[in-house]
Amino acid sequence: MFLADLNSGTTILISSIVVVLTIILSIVIFIFIKKNLKHFKEEDEIIVDNATTKSQMLKLINKHIKKVGNFGAATFLYVDIDAFTDYNELFGTKACDEILREVATRIIRVLPYKASLTRYENDEFLIFIKDEDNVSHNEKLCTKILEAVNLPFQVLPNESLKMTASIGVCTFPQAGNNIKEILANLELSTYVSKRDGGNKFTNYYATLSEEEKDNMAYYKEIKEAIQKKEFVLYYQPIIDFKNRVICGAEALMRWNHPTQGVLSPQKFIKVMEQSGDIRWVGEWGIDTMIRFQESLHQKYPELPLFFSLNLSTKQLLNPNLANTLINIASKHNAKPSNFMFEITDFMIYEKIGVIKTNIFKLKDYGFKIAVDGFVLDGQSVQSIQRSPVDVVKLGRGFLKDIDNNYMREKLLEILKEFSNNNNRTIMAEGIEDARAVNYVKSQALEIGSGYYFAKPLAGNDFEEYIDKKGWQAQLDEVASLEDAKKYNQENSD
């Protein structure tokens, strides 16, 4: 009996020891695996030979700051490739990873021997140069880095591209006495480079934080708004007066701000142009517009609606713009003739090669090209006859004083004759009352838009506008005005 109890107790003790040893062994194995996985992950972050990992870089910086204190020196560069997300869309992740490896290799070639480089974020690099704070040396180095990035990259057998970068420069201890402050000021100085158009470097200085604090906050807010999908398109109806039907809409960007309500582009577009996010606007805009047009076509197959989107000069200066927009349309199997791109300063297309190339690529694919806000003067009327424009949108000035429009009407006759002979369309915008519609129709213009018919509408409201035929009441008012005018003329005769 006693032996049986002893054996039983021994068995329990041995089992407990085995369980404890198993748990300890499992913990040891878990720690080992986790440590090695972290090591392997860090090794993956070494983008090219002679670079370092992000964690190793931060350790190097902290070690140096701790060693030299405020009596030492160091330089930090932050290199951010401008608009790199465009290239991911265009060439794919694999090709873009190769591009970034080439970027890192080129940068390393021009760095001094005591410099370290790491890939800090997706398309951003951090450079640390210990015992260096010479402004002249730093500026020469930044120039070399920009020149290296600017050299063409061969991404596909028949496709190369030229890129730019924005660089922020900070020195220790002037820009902060710890790594957190230094990184914050690097981000700020890099933002200033981006805001000023990219392809440049900005040295941090003591008052920069105060000068740019509000701008930087707004820049970050816009970045977050893009990620949170707070931007939307509104649609202003375009009306066919002759057939008394809606024939299309102009897509206009709006920001559904969480605290300020719906904001127009005047509140944010300039910051987007400065930061490079204007490139995202074009891609997001055409994708959103095509999706909306497709949904409307399914719901209203009898309505041949076309949609237009404005392209700024800044967007047209992007050499990849046309290819990117064409690829998006092709992905959706969209019919290009249903979509139109509006250009405000159309006269510059002859002066700048990249803009001319983009416009002709878009037109050759089948998109329509419009000139927005066209001013009726002799020079503009002559220039439009040499342009690839399909649609001329008369600016609001044409309807500003319709009782004293004699000279503009003469120029309009020349423009109409050219348009009739060359398959061009003229439309009026900025229509604000029935009298303006009546005048437009008297000039043999058949389509137009303006607040008289509707303000820009959110997607759901636009569909409701179609369902209720919201333009009919306005056209009825115009018809009544025409009947009254005709009646008065007949009675006066």
Least confident range of 175-179, 229-233, 487-491: 487-491
Q: Which residue has the higher pLDDT, 300 or 490?
A: 300
Is residue 324 within 8 Å of residue 312, measured between CB atoms?
no
pLDDT, average across residues 142-169: 87
366 pLDDT more than 70: yes
Q: Which of 224 and 6 is assigned the larger pLDDT?
A: 224
Final residue belonging to a domain, choices 146, 171, 206: 206
**Amino acid in the structure at residue 200:** K
Which of 179, 206, 233 delimits the end of a domain?
Answer: 206
pLDDT, position 45: 62
- My answer on whether 77 and 151 are in the same domain is yes
End-to-end Cα separation, the chain, in angstroms: 136
Tally of domains within the chain: 2
Residues 293 and 416 in one domain: yes
- Total residue length of the chain: 493
- Cβ(130)–Cβ(111) under 8 Å? no
62 vs 40, residue with greater confidence: 62
**Residue 333 phi, psi (nearest 5):** 55, 35
Q: Are residues 344 and 488 in the same domain?
A: yes
Residues of the domain holding 366: 225-492
Residues 179, 287 share a domain: no
Q: Exposed, middle or buried: residue 452 (CB in 10 Å: 0-12, 13-18, 19+)?
A: buried
Same domain membership, residue 293 and residue 191: no
Q: Residues 154, 240: one domain? A: no
- Which stretch of 161-165, 176-180, 274-278, 469-473 has the lowest confidence by average pLDDT? 274-278
Amino acid at 59: K
User: What's the average model confidence in pLDDT over 345-363?
Assistant: 84
Give the CATH number for residue 102: 3.30.70.270
Is there a contact between 429 and 396 (Cβ–Cβ < 8 Å)?
yes
DSSP one-letter code for 348: G
Band of residue 3 on the pLDDT scale cut at 50, 70, 90: very low
Task: Note the Cα 381 to chain centre separation in Å.
Answer: 32
Tell me the average pLDDT across 368-390.
Answer: 85
Residue 441 resides in a domain: yes
Helix or strand or coil: residue 122? coil
Over pLDDT 90: what percentage of the chain? 51
Instruction: Report pLDDT digits (tens) over 433-484.
Output: 999 999 999 999 999 999 999 999 999 999 999 999 999 999 999 888 776 6
Inside any domain, residue 188: yes
Whether residues 317 and 202 fall in one domain = no
The Cα-based distances of 475 to 19, 101, 221, 416, 457 in angstroms read 87, 61, 43, 24, 19
| Residue 25 placed within a domain | no
Instruction: Flag whether 37 is in a domain.
Output: no
Q: Residue 171 above 80 pLDDT?
A: yes
- Looking at per-residue pLDDT, the higher value among 119 and 13 belongs to 119
Average pLDDT of the segment spanning 354-373: 93
143 shares a domain with 271: no
Cα–Cα distance measured from residue 182 to residue 169, given in angstroms and rounded to the nearest whole number: 10
Predicted pLDDT of residue 481? 77
Q: What is the CATH number for 372?
A: 3.20.20.450
Nearest by Cα to 284 from 313, 248, 324, 342: 324
User: What percentage of the chain reaches a pLDDT higher than 70?
Assistant: 86
Both 186 and 269 in one domain: the answer is: no
Cα–Cα distance, 145 to 110 (Å, whole number):
7
What is the average pLDDT score of the chain? 85
Q: Which two tokens stand for residue 461?
A: 């409201």
DSSP states of 208-260: HHHHHHHHHHHHHHHHHHHHTT-EEEEEEEEEETTTTEEEEEEEEEEEEETTT
Residue 2 belongs to some domain of the structure = no
Q: Contact, 337 vs 363, CB < 8 A?
A: no
| Segment among 166-175, 329-338, 405-414 with least mean pLDDT | 405-414
Average pLDDT rounded to a whole number, residues 327-342:
94
Q: Is residue 41 part of a domain?
A: no
Give residue-wise pLDDT tens across range 6-60: 455 566 656 666 555 666 666 655 555 444 444 334 444 676 778 899 999 999 9
* Three-state DSSP state, 170: strand
* Helix (H), strand (E) at residue 393: strand 391-394
Residues 182 and 269 in one domain: no
Residue 370 resides in a domain:
yes
- Could you tell me if residue 5 is inside a domain? no
Looking at the DSSP bridge assignments, the partners of residue 166 are 80, 200
pLDDT at 362 over 50: yes
Which has the closest alpha carbon to 195: 275, 273, 269? 275
My answer on whether 284 and 192 are in the same domain is no
Same domain, 283 and 197: no
* pLDDT computed for residue 56 by the predictor: 92
Residue that is last in its domain, among 175, 206, 237: 206
